[in-house]
Amino acid sequence: MMLWIIDKVRTALTFSKEENALSIAHIVFKICSIAVIFAASITAKTLLSSIIVLIYPVVITYFTKRAKVLLEALEAVIIPITLLILFTWLLSPEGVFNIFSILRALIIGSRVLAIALTLLIMFTYTNPLAISILLEKCKVPIVLSQSIILTWRLIPLVL
């Protein structure tokens, strides 16, 4: 029974080419999880809580058994996040040699890294056909839905 539940969770996290209730439900699940990660990243005020939020993308890739996606997402965002941490530390109002400026830079960097990794991993695992069906049911204009679908699939490919 436990293996069946784990298999269903993995199916919900990865996309399938079938158009059924599960393929629509996994998009709603992903949108809700992205919203939760945004909220958790905003409310994370300490280094420990921001590292706990950063664990979420690792858990997602562990369940889907695709560590390569996590490594590719890390490769895509590591330079911008490192520059963000560096400039946040150098331009902090407390000064460069203060421990609070280093903590602030690490907290901000880990919060942004959690959001970026979550978005890239979710973009990679989502079926664009299921997104288009969901947007069509929500009466989204065709131009907007096409741009969302193209962006949804091109961001992970480019990065």
158 phi, psi to nearest 5 deg? -75, -40
User: What's the pLDDT score for residue 66?
Assistant: 78
State which amino acid sits at residue 12. A
Estimate to the nearest angstrom the gap between the alpha carbon of 101 and the chain centroid.
26
pLDDT tens over the chain, length 159 residues: 556 666 655 555 555 555 566 666 667 777 788 888 889 988 988 999 999 988 888 888 887 777 888 888 888 889 999 999 999 999 988 888 889 999 999 999 999 999 988 888 877 777 677 777 777 777 878 777 777 777 766 665 555
- Is the backbone of residue 139 left (phi > 0), alpha (psi -120 to 50) or beta? left
Distance CA 86, CA 106 (A): 9
pLDDT at 24: 64
- Return the structure tokens found at 120: 């890239």
Q: What are the residue ranges spanned by the domains of the chain?
A: 20-126
User: What is the structure's pLDDT at 101?
Assistant: 92
* CA distances to 1, 48, 60, 91, 147 from 55, in Å: 26, 11, 9, 28, 31
Give the HSE-up count for residue 126: Cα atoms under 13 Å, Cβ half-sphere: 30
Q: Which residues contact 40 (CB under 8 A, 6 or more apart)?
A: 53, 56, 114
Number of DSSP helices (H) and strands (E) in the chain, helices first: 7, 0
Q: Beta-carbon neighbour count of residue 37 at 10 Å?
A: 22
Q: What pLDDT was estimated at residue 103? A: 92
Question: What confidence score (pLDDT) does residue 150 get?
Answer: 72
Give CA–CA dist 141/94, Å, rounded: 48
pTM: 0.72
